[in-house]
Amino acid sequence: MRRDMDLVRKIFVEVHSWGQTDFRKIQIGGYDSAQVQWQVAQMIDAGLLDGRVKRSKRGDGAINTAVRGVKWEGSELADVILNDRLWDQLKEKLSDGIATTPFEVIKKVGIELSTALARKLLGL
């Protein structure tokens, strides 16, 4: 499977809507469970989400995850991609390459766009 930044964004939206919580399984409409579980596992492994990952020992590639919240690094990225205006600009500028662009680059470019937007709004 490949990383899907639109799905990453939807996962952040979902988890942010929970507030403080116990561990939960994430389900996102329009995506099959295996795809969501794989993406969530990647986000947990990357230190973006606070969660648990259980991989099947049967060798079938099945993954089960449970998420409790967003970690600090995840919050930094979420702040960028949850802003609709910034997200649209990022997708436009990175176009098809967004799926393979590292999280750190997306975060950095998003912060730069956010800074430029803030400067413009403040007349600086």
- The answer to whether residues 21 and 64 belong to one domain is yes
Number of H helices and number of E strands within the chain? 5, 2
Note the pTM of the prediction, 2 decimals: 0.81
Whether residue 26 has pLDDT greater than 90: yes
Range of the domain at 100: 78-122
- The answer to whether residues 26 and 61 belong to one domain is yes
User: Closest by alpha carbon to 87, among 1, 15, 9, 4?
Assistant: 9
At 37 the pLDDT is 93
CA atoms within 13 A on the CB side of 11: 34
Alpha-carbon dihedral sign for residues 11, 17, 20, 22:
negative
- The answer to whether residues 58 and 38 belong to one domain is yes
Higher per-residue confidence, 108 vs 66:
66
Whether residue 104 has pLDDT greater than 90: no
* Residues above pLDDT 70, as percent of the chain: 97
Task: Give the relative orientation of helices 5-18 and 72-81 as an angle to the nearest 10 degrees.
Answer: 110
